[in-house]
Amino acid sequence: MIKHQQGMIALLSVLVIGAVTLVLAVGVSLRSVGETEISLAEEFTNQAQALATACAEKALSSLRLDGTYAGGEEVNLGDESCIIEVVEAPTEFSRVVKTRATVGDYHQKVLIEVSEVRAPLQVTSWQEVASY
């Protein structure tokens, strides 16, 4: 009877240790998956921001060449693209440039206010915005 009890105690000990080890392993795995998702989200956000900025630079370059540039175009950059929205003209010499880019489910927008389109072009505001 004593050997039987010792065997049961040993078996229960092994089961408890195994269960604790399994819980720890699952916890570490889930944390790793969560950190990977956060890292991927940050990477997509950075890519979308870089694309929106590239479109903004393209729009400003086009405005430097032609003060009547109206935007409304998609710009392809490698496998990705961004969009220059219609460039607004609140006054004769000022412009509002809006660009946007999407990578995966992550969206970025840039809003630029130009106070002077005649040489030299004068940017008065450059912002990353949630909406415009």
Per-residue pLDDT tens listing for the chain (132 residues): 666 777 788 888 888 898 888 888 888 887 877 787 888 899 999 999 999 999 999 999 999 999 999 999 999 998 999 999 989 999 999 999 999 999 999 999 999 999 999 889 999 999 999 998
Do the beta carbons of residue 55 and residue 101 sit within 8 Å? yes
Provide φ and ψ at 110, rounded to 5°.
Answer: -125, 135
Do the beta carbons of residue 77 and residue 54 sit within 8 Å? yes
Domain range annotation of the chain = 2-129
Burial state string for 74-108 with b = 16 or more CB within 10 A and e = fewer than 16:
ebeeeeeebbbbebebeeeeebbbbbbbbbeebbb
Prediction pTM value: 0.74
